[in-house]
Amino acid sequence: MRAGMARCFVTRRLPGSALDRLSAVHEVEIWPSNVPPTTEQLRAGVADAQGLLSMLTDRIDDDLLDHASRLRAIANYAVGYDNIDLAAAAKRGIAVGNTPDVLTETTADLAFALLLAAARRLPQAIESVRRGEWGTWEPDRFLGFEVHGSTLGIIGMGRIGAAVARRARSFEMNVIHASARERDTIAPLLQQSDFVSLHCPLTPDTRHLIDAAALAQMRQTAILVNTARGPIVDQAALRQALIDGAIAGAALDVTDPEPLPAEDPLLTAPNLIVVPHIGSATHRTRERMADLAVENLLAALDGRPMPHQVTVSN
What b/e string do you get for 121-153 counting C-beta neighbours within 10 Å, with b at 16 or more?
bbeebeeeeeeeeeeeeeeeeeebbebeebbbb
Instruction: Write down the domain spans for the chain.
Output: 7-101+283-310, 104-274
Q: If one looks up domain 7-101+283-310 in CATH, what number appears?
A: 3.40.50.720
Whether the ω angle into residue 257 lies within 30 degrees of 0, i.e. cis, is: yes
Angle at 146 between CA 142 and CA 148, to 5 degrees: 145
Low-confidence ranges of the chain (pLDDT < 50): 314
CA distance 261 to 64: 24
Let me know: does 66 contact 85? Beta carbons within 8 Å: no
Measured in degrees and rounded to the nearest 5, phi and psi for residue 57 equal -85, -5
What b/e string do you get for 292-305 counting C-beta neighbours within 10 Å, with b at 16 or more?
bbbbbbbbbbeeee
Torsion of CA 129, 133, 138, 142, to 10 degrees: -50
Q: Give CATH superfamily name and number for 104-274.
A: NAD(P)-binding Rossmann-like Domain (3.40.50.720)
Pairing of strands 27-30, 73-76: unpaired
Catalytic residue among 277, 286, 288, 308: 277
Catalytic residue among 27, 105, 258, 287: 258
Catalytic residue among 26, 199, 229, 288: 229
CA distance 145 to 197: 16
CA distance 57 to 84: 10
pTM for this predicted structure: 0.90
Q: Is 27 a catalytic residue?
A: no
Helices and strands of the chain, counted as H and E runs = 11, 12
Pairing of strands 174-178, 195-198: unpaired
Closest C-alpha to 152, from 167, 130, 174: 174
Say whether 104-274 and 7-101+283-310 share the same fold: yes
Q: Is 12 a catalytic residue?
A: no
Strand partners, 195: 152, 223
Q: Is 229 a catalytic residue?
A: yes
Q: Can you give the pLDDT at residue 2?
A: 55
Closest C-alpha to 153, from 195, 214, 208, 191: 195
Q: Is 4 left (phi over 0), alpha (psi -120 to 50) or beta?
A: left
Cα 223 to chain centroid, rounded: 19
